[in-house]
A and B are shown apart, each in its own frame.
Chain A
Amino acid sequence: MRLQPLLWADLSAPPGEGLTTGLIHESEDLLNFREDVNLMEKGSGRPDGSVGALFVYVAKKHRRIRMKKKETKKVIAERKSCRAEGTGLSHYILMDKKAKK
Chain B
Amino acid sequence: MTKGLTDEGTAAAPSRGRCINTGNGPSLHPVDIGHDNYTCLIDPDTAFWSLVRKDALAETLCDKDYLSSYKRKSAQFADEMEMLRFHLKPSAVYFNATEKCNLDCAYCYIPQKMRKSGINMSRKEVFSALRKLRTYFKRVVPKGVKPQIVFHGAEPLINREAIFPAIAEFKNDFRFGVQTNATLLDEEAIEFLTSHGTGIGLSLDGHTAAICDKTRTSWEGKGVFEHVVTAMERLKGYEGYNVICTVTKENMRHLTKIVEFFHSHEVPACLLNIVRCTLPPSREVKPADHTAAKHFIAALERTHELYRETGRKLIVGNFANILVSIIAPTARRLMCDISPCGGGRCFFALTPNGDLFPCSEFIGLPEFKGGNLFTDKIGDVLESKAFKMVTGRRVEDIDPCNKCAIRHFCGSPCPAEAHEVNGAMDRVGSFCEFYEEQARYAFRLIADGRHNDFLWDGWDKGTKQTFEFMS
A: which residues have CB within 8 A of B? 14-17, 36, 40-41, 43, 45, 47-49, 72-100
Contact = CB atoms under 8 A, between A and B. Distances in A.
Assign chain B's interface to a size class.
35 or more
A90 B334 contact: yes
A92 B324 CA distance: 13
Contacts of A36: 449
A84 B84 contact: yes
B468 A82 contact: no
A24 to B, nearest CB: 17
B463 interface: yes
Contact of B52 (A40, A48, A74, A79): A74
Contact of B347 (A78, A87, A93): A87
Interface stretch (B15-23, B217-225, B233-241): B233-241
Nearest to B307: A40
8 contacts: A41-B311, A48-B301, A75-B52, A79-B329, A80-B327, A84-B80, A86-B333, A99-B196
A95 B240 CA distance: 7
Given A73-B470, A87-B91, A82 B148 contact: no
Interface in B50-64: 50-53, 56, 59-60
A77 B195 contact: no
B7 interface: no
A92 B330 contact: no
B92 interface: yes
Interface in B317-368: 317-318, 320-321, 327-336, 341-343, 346-347
B342 A81 contact: no
Contacts of B463: 80-82
Interface in B63-117: 66, 70, 73, 77, 80, 83-84, 88, 91-92, 94
B333 A43 contact: no
